[in-house]
């Protein structure tokens, strides 16, 4: 996706108010929101994941939509 500077690791479709959006996570350490109608990015909604952003999902909590993100690696035993 234009705007990320490394591989995209996760995509999720959701709603931002009444607007359909796609959230993308990338190894460049950012999470972005994209407007499905225009194709334009809303910009970085989260940045600074030093090992890359690797997971995201939309959740409705208390009637409000939230974007949950994650990064890093799992510890091995």
pLDDT digits (tens, 9 = 90+) for 5-19: 888 999 999 988 888
**Band of the pLDDT at 74, cuts 50, 70, 90?**
low
The answer to whether residues 3 and 36 touch, using CB atoms and an 8 Å cutoff, is no
Choose the weakest-confidence range: 20-24, 39-43, 72-76: 72-76
Measure Cα distances from 21 to 51, 56, 72, 74, 76 in Å: 25, 13, 24, 29, 35
Token readout for 13 is: 């479709």
Asked whether the predicted pLDDT for residue 76 surpasses 70, the reply is: no
């Amino acid at each position: 996706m234009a705007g990320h500077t490394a591989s995209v690791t996760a995509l999720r479709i959701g709603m931002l108010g009444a607007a359909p959006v796609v959230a993308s996570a990338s190894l460049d350490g950012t999470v972005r929101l994209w407007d499905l109608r225009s194709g334009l990015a809303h910009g970085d909604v989260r940045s600074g994941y030093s090992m890359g952003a690797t997971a995201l999902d939309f959740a409705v909590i208390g009637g409000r939509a939230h974007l949950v993100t994650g990064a890093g690696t799992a510890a091995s035993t």
